[in-house]
């Protein structure tokens, strides 16, 4: 897959996920084999008003490259201004979110609302492309609902508007995250564009990645599957190379990586902002580990990372005694 300075054969990329793909998780996934990462989506209106929380979200580190900063907005002039601001943060590309299903965003004409107003969708993409020398990419869905699948028109339009790659979450807005992603569209989209296509939706195993590449898409993006199993990138790379599956990580490896991830999150964001959003990661690190009910309820209660680490050590000691 080639665009801008990016040239990666069959990249497996970490999806942008609000309150999940912060610097700490991006670095963990990179280390485990993710080829490309994105920031959480950030409001263009917040960026142009210099809202500190928004500016923090788009801070990136060299180790994360190649990385895209993802923005959202429904007003072309604001998107243009935000794109100009972003250049100083030095990402490898800017991605436009045109798929967020959440009611408040849609009500403001942002995210998936653009799928109901293709002329505005086009203006938004054109305005960002015009504003920056960075490559611009688009992430969207199949359409608003099953009765209005517009992805083929959207794909042609975003290429025409100057986007350098397209990511498609193979669901409609009305599906949100429910139902099955329909990968059947990827082959059709591939036929109408010449820019790289990244497929997304329901990737949970190395075999899923292989099957999605068979649709002809150039890259595969993993969202929730990476929360449930950050090792998925490494496991997939191994599977694509050798056709065999790596053994799952041991309990010791799971807990060691969880502690390292938590420690990094706290170093970067402080105790409160590091620990509370981290709770959604325990399920991934403890997946497949038996007898974790007590441990899990303690982890959901504790708010200090030192206590959490002690609790993990205690659990590990208990497990190795038996």
CB of 12 to ligand FMN, least distance (A): 11
Q: Does residue number 172 form part of the binding site for ligand FMN (CB under 6 A)?
A: no
Cβ closer to ligand FMN: 15 or 82?
15
Q: Does residue number 223 form part of the binding site for ligand FMN (CB under 6 A)?
A: yes
Tokens of 21: 């793909």
CB of 177 to ligand FMN, least distance (A): 6
Nearest residue to 185 (alpha-carbon basis) of 227, 223, 226, 217: 217
Q: Does residue number 27 form part of the binding site for ligand FMN (CB under 6 A)?
A: no
Catalytic one of 100, 170, 217, 258 = 100
Distance set, CA 164 to CA 3, 135, 152, 205, 320 (Å): 6, 6, 16, 28, 51
- The residue within the footprint of ligand FMN, chosen from 68, 206, 225, 230 (CB under 6 A), is 225
CB of 142 to ligand FMN, least distance (A): 12
Binding mask 34-73 for ligand FMN (x = CB under 6 A): ------xx----------------------------x---
Give the CB-nearest residue to ligand FMN: 223
- Indicate if 100 belongs to the active site: yes
CB of 246 to ligand FMN, least distance (A): 20
Q: Does residue number 224 form part of the binding site for ligand FMN (CB under 6 A)?
A: yes
- The residue within the footprint of ligand FMN, chosen from 30, 169, 173, 254 (CB under 6 A), is 169
Q: Number of residues in contact with ligand FMN, rule: CB under 6 A?
A: 21
Interacting residues with ligand FMN (CB under 6 A): 15-18, 20, 40-41, 70, 97, 99, 139, 169, 177, 200-203, 222-225
Residues with a known catalytic role: 100
């Amino acid at each position: 897959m080639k665009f801008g300075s990016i040239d990666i054969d069959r990249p497996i990329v970490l999806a942008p996920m609000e309150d999940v793909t912060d610097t700490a998780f991006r670095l963990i996934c990179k280390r485990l084999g993710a080829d490309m990462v994105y920031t959480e989506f950030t409001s263009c209106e917040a960026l142009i008003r210099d809202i500190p929380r928004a500016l923090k979200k788009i801070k990136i580190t060299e180790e994360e490259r190649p990385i895209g900063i993802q923005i959202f907005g429904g007003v072309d002039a604001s998107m243009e201004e935000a794109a100009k601001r972003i250049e100083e943060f030095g990402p490898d590309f800017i991605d436009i979110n045109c798929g967020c299903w959440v009611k408040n965003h849609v009500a403001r004409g942002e995210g998936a609302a653009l799928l109901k107003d293709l002329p505005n969708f086009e203006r938004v993409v054109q305005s960002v492309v015009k504003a920056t020398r960075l490559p611009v990419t688009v992430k969207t869905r199949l359409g608003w609902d099953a009765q209005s699948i517009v992805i083929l028109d959207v794909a042609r339009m975003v290429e025409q508007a100057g986007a350098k790659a397209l990511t498609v979450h193979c669901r409609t807005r009305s599906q949100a995250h429910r139902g099955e992603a329909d990968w059947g569209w990827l082959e059709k989209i591939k036929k109408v564009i010449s820019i790289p296509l990244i497929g997304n939706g329901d990737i949970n195993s190395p075999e899923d990645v292989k099957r999605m590449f068979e649709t002809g898409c150039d890259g595969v993006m993993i969202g929730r599957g990476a929360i449930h199993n950050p090792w998925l990138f490494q496991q997939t790379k191994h599977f694509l190379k050798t056709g065999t599956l790596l053994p799952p990580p041991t309990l010791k490896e799971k807990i060691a990586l969880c502690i390292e991830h938590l420690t990094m999150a706290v170093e970067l964001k402080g105790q409160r902002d590091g620990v509370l959003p981290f709770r959604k990661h325990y399920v991934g690190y403890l997946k497949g580990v038996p007898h974790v009910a007590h441990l899990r309820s303690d982890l959901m209660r504790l708010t200090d990372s030192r206590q959490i680490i002690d609790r993990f050590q205690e659990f590990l000691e208990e497990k190795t005694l038996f």
